[in-house]
């Protein structure tokens, strides 16, 4: 069973050690980070072990995600960052990296270059014993491509973002589609208005939990 966790980076002003101690005292059993703590990922893992917290996943870099489908330095740099994220997860024994496969409501088509990069990313994760969890975003066809393309890959699964489902793709119930491949969740609230990804605390918005 997945443990209830909270993002390590939700409040400014606390050191990672202070934050993790607080998380534990509040009753959470897990945490996750993005790549802000890249140079300290193993240290974060050590602190999690100290407080008996599960380091559930790392959110991979996603700024400029659409560049992965285009030629150019931006796509090359982001692809390199994704590979490095997998390396960091492996070094810190974090089991899963959450990956965005598109950005915005009008991303470019999935190109051959983009497909090749995602294939290489999945293969790199397999070699490093790291799972890749593709997250639901604004355009469901991209997630569908990934889940179908990598359906035989044991290290590929689904990150269910409840907030995204209710403000980006209302009417699609992702758990009925990919629940059997669930690796992790993002639980947050919003006002269920198109594009309004507010990342509110649960019950502070209009999602019917």
Q: How far apart are CA 161 and CA 143, in angstroms?
A: 12
Q: Pick the more confident residue, 38 or 207.
A: 207
Predicted confidence (pLDDT) at residue 84 exceeds the cutoff of 80: yes
Q: How far apart are CA 32 and CA 92, in angstroms?
A: 12
Contact 37, 16 (CB under 8 A): yes
21: left (phi over 0), alpha (psi -120 to 50) or beta: alpha
Residue with tokens 């703590």: 37
Tell me: pLDDT of 2 over 80. no
Confidence of residue 74 (pLDDT cuts 50, 70, 90): very high
Residues 91-100, mean pLDDT to the nearest whole number:
97
- Tokens 């974090």 locate to 94
Distance CA 55, CA 44 (A): 8
* In the chain, % of residues over pLDDT 70: 98
Main-chain phi, psi angles of 206, to 5 degrees: -120, 5
What average pLDDT does the segment 69-96 reach?
97
DSSP 189: B
> What's the pLDDT tens digit per position in 6-65?
999 877 888 999 999 999 999 999 999 998 766 689 999 999 999 999 999 999 999 999
pLDDT band at 186 (very low <50, low <70, confident <90, very high): very high
pLDDT at 37: 67
Which whole number is the average pLDDT over 136-144? Answer: 98
Q: What is the pLDDT, as a whole number, of residue 39?
A: 64
| Predicted pLDDT of residue 86 | 97
| Least confident stretch, 4-18, 92-106, 135-149, 178-192 | 4-18
pLDDT score of 10 = 78
Long-range contacts of 114-120 (CB under 8 A, 24+ apart): 114/68, 114/69, 114/70, 115/149, 117/68, 117/75, 117/79, 118/68, 118/146, 118/149, 119/149, 120/79, 120/83
Does 156 have pLDDT greater than 80? yes
User: Token digits for 44?
Assistant: 């974060």
Judge contact between 140 and 171, C-beta under 8 A: no
Give the single-character DSSP code of 60: P
Mean pLDDT of 173-178: 97
Over residues 67-81, mean pLDDT: 97
Q: How far is it, in rounded angstroms, from Cα 138 to Cα 150? A: 20
């Amino acid at each position: 069973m997945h443990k209830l966790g909270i993002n390590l980076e939700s409040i400014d002003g606390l050191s990672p050690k202070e934050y993790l101690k607080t998380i534990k005292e509040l009753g959470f059993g897990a945490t996750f980070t993005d790549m802000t703590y890249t140079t300290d990922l193993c240290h974060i893992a050590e602190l999690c072990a100290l407080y008996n917290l599960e380091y559930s996943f790392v959110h991979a870099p996603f700024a400029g995600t659409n560049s992965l489908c285009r030629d150019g330095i931006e796509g090359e740099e982001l692809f390199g960052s994704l590979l490095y994220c997998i390396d960091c997860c492996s070094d810190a024994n974090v089991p899963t990296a959450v990956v965005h496969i598109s950005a915005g409501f009008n991303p470019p088509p999935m190109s051959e270059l983009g497909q090749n990069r995602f294939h290489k990313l999945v293969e790199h994760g397999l070699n490093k014993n790291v799972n890749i969890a593709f997250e639901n975003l604004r355009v469901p066809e991209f997630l569908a491509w990934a889940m179908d393309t990598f359906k035989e890959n044991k290290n590929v699964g689904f990150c269910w973002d409840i907030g995204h489902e209710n403000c980006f793709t209302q009417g699609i119930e992702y758990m009925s589609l990919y629940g059997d491949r669930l690796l992790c969740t993002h639980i947050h609230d919003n006002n269920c208005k198109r594009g309004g990804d507010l990342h509110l605390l649960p019950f502070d918005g209009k999602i019917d939990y």
